[in-house]
Amino acid sequence: MSREPISEGNLSYLTGKWEGRRYVKGYNFRTELEIYNDTLPLKGKFIFHEVKRKTGGTYTVEFMHGMIKDSNFYLKRGQNYFELSLHKGDGKMKLEGDFFSEGYEGTITLYKK
């Protein structure tokens, strides 16, 4: 897959559902992303599975201010951030990058559904 710089002209590639894994300290956990629109600011939600919380095994983070930074999808909420680059090839798309959330840092790889 080759990297595809994200711009306002191709935000439609990001809309829809993505599914994959986040990698933290040698462990990996199922993760979902849904982006609702194709204009800035991007709106959507992350669903983090296998989260050890009193409320259960999933944690949903809604967002309203997704942006483009250095040709990547970028989301910042307080100290938490996600920065994902878009990759395309063989009829498939992948978002991949770094994150820091709730005191944990790692990487995320998501595939378009």
As a whole number of angstroms, the distance between CA 91 and CA 50 comes to: 30
What pLDDT is stored for residue 59 in this prediction?
87
Q: Are strands 104-112 and 72-77 parallel, antiparallel or unpaired?
A: unpaired
Total domains, the chain: 1
**Range 8-11 contact pairs with CB under 8 angstroms and sequence separation of 24 or more:** 8/39, 8/40, 8/68, 11/38, 11/39, 11/40, 11/42
Give the CATH number for residue 18. Answer: 2.40.128.20
Could you count the other beta carbons within 10 Å of the beta carbon of residue 56?
8
Share above pLDDT 90 across residues of the chain, in percent, rounded to a whole number: 82
Q: Which of 54, 14, 16, 46 is nearest to 30 (CA)?
A: 46
Give the CB-side neighbour count of residue 36, counting CA atoms within 13 A: 11
Is residue 88 a contact partner of residue 4, using CB atoms and an 8 Å limit? yes
Instruction: Name the residue range of residue 24's domain.
Output: 2-112
Once rounded to an integer, what is the mean pLDDT over residues 19-27?
A: 93
Once rounded to an integer, what is the mean pLDDT over residues 20-42?
A: 95
- pLDDT over 80 at 51, yes or no: no
pTM of the model: 0.92
What pLDDT is stored for residue 22 in this prediction?
95
Once rounded to an integer, what is the mean pLDDT over residues 57-68?
A: 94
Is residue 16 a contact partner of residue 113, using CB atoms and an 8 Å limit? yes
